[in-house]
């Protein structure tokens, strides 16, 4: 990874007819707004456009007792408190997110995401509860939810479950489970507060005997379906089919074409200890927008001179135990993220511009070490700290089939 010497890279009376037409138009406008907001990961509507007392797409005003939407929202709330052990605030936070994601409709879909919490297909099928369209019921999807919370999303379960404020819980759920990057957060929080009031959340405490605990987040390797797949809001040409993708849209699914010096592993003596800790995509073959190969958090942006490197480096850490390095940017202006950002698969990290030493190009490194300093300390050591990016991404793509 640290290579200081190499070159980079949507016949009745007239009055009655008018009323009918207006009514129909209002219904379509309302449904369009709900579906557009609940099912579009790249939400561009303003929070002020939202009224939590909307007609949920599952049927009826969700705040009116006895409607289908109310019953579904209450079912989710009860499930989270009684089966998962969450506090009333935590459960309300989950309900607020379901309102935004699906309008409490278990069959909601935007074409690539499905169900109450807009899962990708492979995540929705996790646990074996949903195998066909008719299986997409509130009951089954709550089983899927619990399966995830008991596996790769233990951190979300515990942090949200212990929350004492519904607004905080809604944000935590969005941060740790939905991973929307804060999209429509005010809507999620408003829905959570309303659910907290409707369902008596203030009287329900966390049940630690059910909720359990987590140590240092999700266990490494346990979160096989951890990151929400996403169509990039930055580049409409990038359609993500799995939790891993290639960093450039021009790379075929089968993988990049690389020359010997660009490949991972033994480089024949060109670098220290003859070891190359990543893959150089090459400024001549692959350039343009660089996309996040996996979802995670931008933990550090290294500037030239720090950690002994001579270029800009973007360090991303993931919930499932990886440290990902996008490096050898020649200019800070070529980097599109900042420290602390949460990125989804396909989000734009930066740009690679061909032209030689002074231009940015991509060296991609994937490590099982999330600590940047420790990972960099093993840049020239073939001891398993650094993994072959081509193999990791191919395996991720294969698992999504």
Which pLDDT does position 73 carry in this prediction? Answer: 97
Q: Give the model's pLDDT for residue 45.
A: 31
**pTM (2 decimals)?**
0.46
Please name the CATH architecture into which domain 42-211 falls: Orthogonal Bundle (1.10)
- pLDDT score at 242: 40
Give me 347's structure tokens: 């989000």
Residue numbers in the chain where pLDDT is lower than 50: 1-15, 17-18, 21-22, 24, 27-57, 214-242
State the Cα–Cα distance between residues 288 and 183, nearest whole angstrom: 26
Burial class (CB in 10 A: 0-12, 13-18, 19+), 394: middle
- 390/127 Cα distance (integer angstroms): 28
Yes or no: say if 182 and 43 are a contact pair by the CB < 8 Å rule. Answer: no
Between the two ends of the chain, the Cα-to-Cα distance in Å is 30
pLDDT of residue 284: 63
- Per-residue confidence (pLDDT) for residue 212, from 0 to 100: 79
- In three state form, how does the secondary structure of the chain look? CCCCCCCCCCCCCHHHHHHHHHHHHHHHHHHHHHHHHHCCCCCCCCHHHCCCCCECCCCCECCCCCCHHHHHHHHHHHHHHHHCCCCHHHHHHHHHHHHHHHCCCCCCECCCEECCCCEEHHHHCHHHCCCCHHHCCHHHHHHHHHHHHCCCCHHHHHHHHCCCCHHHHHHHHHHHHHCCCCCCHHHHHHHHHHHHHHCCHHHCCCCHHHHCCCCCCCCCCCCCCCCCCCCCCCCCCCCCCCCCCCCCCCCCCCCCCCCHHHCCEECCCCCHHHEECCEECCCCCCCEEEECCCCEEEEEEECCCHHHCCCEEEEEECCCCCEEEEEEECCHHHECCCCCCEECCCCEEEEECCCCCCCCCCEEEEECCCCHHHHHCCCCCCCCCEECHHHHHHHHHHHCC
* Alpha-carbon gap, residue 30 to 91, rounded angstroms: 27
Q: Give the model's pLDDT for residue 220.
A: 29
**For 349-396, what is each residue's pLDDT tens digit?**
999 987 655 567 899 999 999 999 999 989 988 999 999 999 999 988
Whole-number Å distance between alpha carbons of 152 and 29: 38
* Residue whose tokens read 């003859």: 274
Which tokens hold the place of 150?
């008991």
Chain-wide mean pLDDT for the chain? 79
* Fold entry, domain 260-399: Glucose Permease (Domain IIA) (2.70.70)
Q: Tell me which residue has tokens 């800790």.
A: 277
- Check: CB of residue 156 under 8 Å from CB of residue 171: no
Alpha-carbon gap, residue 123 to 149, rounded angstroms: 12
Question: pLDDT per residue over 23-50, tens digit each?
Answer: 545 544 444 443 333 333 333 333 333 3
Q: What are the extents of the domains in the chain? A: 42-211, 260-399
Largest CA distance in the chain: 89
């Amino acid at each position: 990874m640290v290579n200081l010497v190499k070159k980079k890279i949507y016949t009745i009376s007239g009055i009655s007819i008018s009323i009918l037409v207006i009514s129909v138009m209002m219904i379509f406008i309302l449904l369009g707004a709900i579906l557009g907001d609940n099912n579009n990961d790249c939400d561009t509507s303003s929070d002020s456009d939202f009224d939590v007392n909307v007609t949920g797409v599952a049927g009826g005003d969700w705040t009116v007792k006895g409607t289908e939407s109310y019953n579904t929202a209450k079912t989710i709330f009860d499930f989270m408190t009684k089966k998962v052990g969450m506090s009333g605030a935590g459960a309300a936070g989950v309900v607020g997110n379901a309102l935004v994601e699906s309008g409490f409709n278990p069959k909601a879909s935007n074409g690539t995401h499905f169900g109450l919490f807009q899962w990708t297909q492979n995540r929705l099928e996790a646990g074996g509860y949903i195998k066909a369209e008719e299986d997409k019921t509130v009951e089954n999807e709550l089983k899927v939810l619990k399966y995830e919370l008991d596996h790769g999303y233990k951190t979300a379960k515990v942090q949200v479950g212990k929350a004492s404020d519904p607004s905080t819980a809604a944000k935590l759920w969005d941060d740790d489970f939905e991973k929307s990057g804060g999209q429509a957060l005010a809507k999620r929080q408003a829905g959570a507060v309303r659910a907290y009031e409707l369902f008596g959340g203030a009287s329900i405490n966390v049940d630690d005997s059910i909720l359990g605990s987590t140590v240092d987040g999700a266990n490494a390797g346990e979160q096989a379906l951890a990151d929400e797949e996403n169509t990039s809001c930055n580049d409409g040409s990038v359609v993500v089919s799995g939790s891993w993708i290639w960093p450039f849209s021009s790379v075929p699914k089968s993988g990049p074409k690389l020359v010997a010096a660009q490949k991972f592993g033994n480089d024949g003596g060109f670098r220290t200890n003859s070891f190359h800790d990543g893959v150089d995509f090459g400024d001549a073959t692959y350039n343009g927008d660089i996309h996040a190969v996996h979802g995670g958090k931008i933990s550090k942006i290294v500037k030239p001179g720090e950690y002994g490197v001579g270029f800009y480096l973007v360090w991303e850490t993931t919930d499932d135990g990886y440290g990902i390095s996008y490096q050898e940017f020649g200019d800070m202006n070529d980097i599109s993220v900042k420290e602390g950002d949460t990125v989804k698969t396909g989000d734009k990290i930066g740009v690679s511009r061909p032209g030689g030493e002074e231009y940015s190009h991509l060296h991609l490194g994937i490590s099982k070490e999330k600590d940047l300093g420790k990972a960099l300390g093993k840049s020239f050591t073939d001891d398993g700290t650094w993994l072959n990016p081509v193999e990791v991404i191919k395996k991720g793509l294969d698992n999504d089939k």
